[in-house]
Amino acid sequence: MEGNWTQLLIEAVIMGIIIVVLGYIVSFITKPWFGTALPEVCKHWNDDYMMEINLFLIGFIGHLGFELAGMNTWYCKHGHACSQ
């Protein structure tokens, strides 16, 4: 069982990193359309990397949650990814 938990945590970390990278890409693409001039008080809002931390936690916790709820198994059985 320990190996399974280790593998699950490695997968969760990888998913967290992937979500951060996707967040950067989406942010870069949408910035020209949705960018706004923020007041000076907001200039340093992301100095503590809050966006990156939140995106990582979404991917990490999301992966753990899907696995623990059995949704990954269900998807592999019924979804397109494992049907080939």
Instruction: Report pLDDT digits (tens) over 27-79.
Output: 899 988 887 777 877 777 777 888 899 999 999 999 999 999 999 888 888 88
Decide if pLDDT at 2 tops 70: no
Decide if pLDDT at 1 tops 70: no
**CB of 66 within 8 A of CB of 8?**
no
Whether pTM > 0.75 for this model: the answer is yes
CB burial of residue 76 (10 Å; 0-12, 13-18, 19+): exposed
| Rounded CA separation 40/79 (Å) | 48
